[in-house]
Amino acid sequence: MNWNNPTLIRDLKAGKIAVMPTDTIYGVVCRALDETAVKKIYEIRKRAPDKPCIILISDISELEKFSVNLFAEQKEKIKEYWSNNSAPTSIILDCLDDKFSYLHRGTKTLAFRLPTQEELKNLLKQTGPLIAPSANPEGLPPAKNIQEAKKYFGDIIDLYMDRGEIEGKASKVIKLHKDGTVYILRE
């Protein structure tokens, strides 16, 4: 998959919605800092309104864009989970800023994932952070290919990026506390 697609980059920057492969499975993606696009994804996916989405970032420094400040113990633990040889892990961190309530949905937490694929990180550097819930309506299995995604969403989606069949699985999800302790929510 060539994530460095000029059409994809342009469309995402313009507030459009795409179905594309992520570092795990197909996702329905938009720019995380585009509140209108984020709300559209919730509508498209019929996602529970109190359930935050995972945000893909290109670098740990992007956490600052979401008013997330890390303690030293958290930084050390994040390095462990986001090293190049570890399994994709989404890390839930506190986000107390009400400006991001459209993302944290009242939970005052956000989940972030730093992909290991350089091409995907390069895309994120150009578009900014992306929310990336799985490509399916709430309660149905994630699309394994673009044909399944199109059956779910049809022409409501602005752009589909095909990488064939993906038999991946959703990322591990952990809650990282200020003292560096971890609670595993999804293995």
Q: Please state which CATH class domain 6-162+170-186 belongs to.
A: alpha beta
For the chain, what are the domain ranges?
A: 6-162+170-186
pLDDT band at 84; cut points 50, 70, 90: low
Does residue 1 have a pLDDT over 70?
no
| Backbone φ and ψ of 153, nearest 5° | -115, -20
pLDDT digits (tens, 9 = 90+) for 56-73: 999 999 999 999 989 999
How far is the C-alpha of 71 from the C-alpha of 22, rounded, in Å? 28
pLDDT digits (tens, 9 = 90+) for 90-101: 999 999 999 999
